[in-house]
Amino acid sequence: MRGPHNIWRLIRTGATFERTGAMKVALDAADAPARLRVAARILGWPFAWLGYKGDPALPPVTRAITALGPAYVKFGQILSTRPDVVGVELADQLSMLQDRLPPFSQDQARRTLRAELGQPVEALFDAFSEPVAAASIAQVHRARRADNGREVAVKVLRPGIESAFRRDIDAFHFAAGMIERLSPATRRLRPRDVVAHFESVVTGELDLRLEAASASEFAENTRGDEGMKVPRPHWHLSARRVLTTDWAEGTPLGDIAALRAAGHDLPKLGERVLQLFLCHALRDGYFHADMHQGNLKVARDGDIVIYDFGIMGEIDEYTRRVYAEILMGFIRRDYDRVARVHFEAGYVPPDRDIKEFSRALRAVGEPIFGADASQISMANLLAYLFEVTERFGMATRTELILLQRTMVVVEGVARSLDPQINMWQVARPVVESYIRDNLGPRAATRDLARAAQVLGRFAPLLPEFLERRMPELLREPAAPPPPPRRGRGLAVGMALGAVAALAGTALGAFLG
């Protein structure tokens, strides 16, 4: 119920950050101005005693986030991939949110397995370990199947996770509504729609049968891709609250020292992570939307193992083509082309000046091309991107939030492996390949053939349709065509989403 009682939840959120000392750490990481620090102190200090205590053994921000609940943990996971935005120290503290949260008991996991699969653990598995990883939604046990001896990973949802998420999402809805009412300028960012989108994503993540289906589809799409592996689901050992897959053997991608000791080429791994994501997003339109280090390993042969398919993203073919053109425009530094594509697709309101928009994009892109990766200030870039979206009246496209957020996360993962990675250079071959296959003469021929097939399927219905509708159409006065409605803006979307991926903005994390 999205009522005023959520004010209490929001007050406890601020109070928890104040009580655990996370408020100061967060403000320092954001380099907040003095006025904001004073306001936060005045508003937070009197209510500090109302905050959750959390685990004193954890660092302040991690302590506050884990005490507040799973929805807050999701935001922390995203920020943990961006040391260039929140600082190296804070990113290291937040990295434990990826797969090192406190586990629940093995007895509880066994009870869940029996309830979901209808048999005791001993009848299904010869071995069933203590939790090997624990995240915000579930924890994972290593097991060995009793029927064939195969090593598997058994994922079990946390007890009460559904109600905990509903409580957090309820408060987020309330806060978003208050923000829109108190600050009309924020409505173009559509905070309520953003929260609704986040809610739909989380709801899907709480049904592990859907995750099994996503893993199966993703494995089929990528079966020809070199340099990666996908654990397959074991359907008869999976249910709504339990998922069993192949065991993913390898070194965690976040363990840089272990990867280096094993002799892996870290810059090559960074390139592959980014190129795999772009390939899946552009070629398939179906991509892993939670590609932080906790969901990636490196196998002994150097292949990247991708797992945990609770959050997947999907974009239609039209959007992929427009996005590829925008990416290519940035790669070639053709800002007039990028601006033109935005206006042609209706992503920027038509009453804005296209040349001015082109210059704004140049101001974003050029400093990145001329600077070493370590010299780029992501905080300053983020601030400027917000100015651009406001100046040109660009509205948030909620269907692209997952794409934008994932680009931010993947770019952060790539930079953790190679801080000097050239994002434009790495992306270029993938984007050029997509454009060659989908925007050239062969693609036009393929589109015409597809249109002819559709027309052929409906051709038998056309005579009846015309006989029934033509008299009505002849009697009715012609109505003026409606104004184009496809995407009033991209908000931190196409051009800015491209920059988010290739330049490292954390805007997607802010929206995700």
Residues labelled as active-site residues = 290
CA-closest candidate to residue 78, choices 420, 315, 374, 412 = 412
Buried b (16+ CB within 10 A) or exposed e, 418-453: beebebbebbbebbeebbeebeeeeeeeeeeeeeee
Backbone angles phi, psi at 305, to 5 degrees: -100, 120
* Nearest partner of 368 among 356, 347, 382, judged by Cα: 382
360, 385 contact by CB (below 8 A): no
105-141 core/surface letters (b: 16 or more CB in 10 A; e: else): ebeebbebbbebbeeebeebbeebeebebbbbbbbbb
Which residues neighbour 397 within 8 Å (Cβ) at sequence distance 6 or greater? 487, 489, 490, 491, 493
Question: Any idea what DSSP says for residue 284?
Answer: I
d(CA 455, CA 468): 19
The answer to whether 298 and 333 are in contact (CB under 8 A) is no
CA distances to 234, 447, 448 from 441, in Å? 43, 10, 11
Phi then psi dihedrals of residue 210, to 5 deg? -70, -35
How would you classify the pairing of strands 228-229 and 304-306?
Answer: parallel
SS3 sequence, 251-283? EECCCHHHHHHCCCCHHHHHHHHHHHHHHHHHH
Take residue 257 and report the two structure tokens written for it: 């020292």
Cβ atoms of 394 and 491 within 8 Å: the answer is yes
Residue pointed to by tokens 């091309």: 369
Rounded Cα distance between 288 and 312, Å, is 5
Q: How far is CA 74 from CA 11, 66, 136, 276, in A?
A: 20, 10, 7, 23
**DSSP state, residue 249:** -
Residue 83's SS3 state is: helix
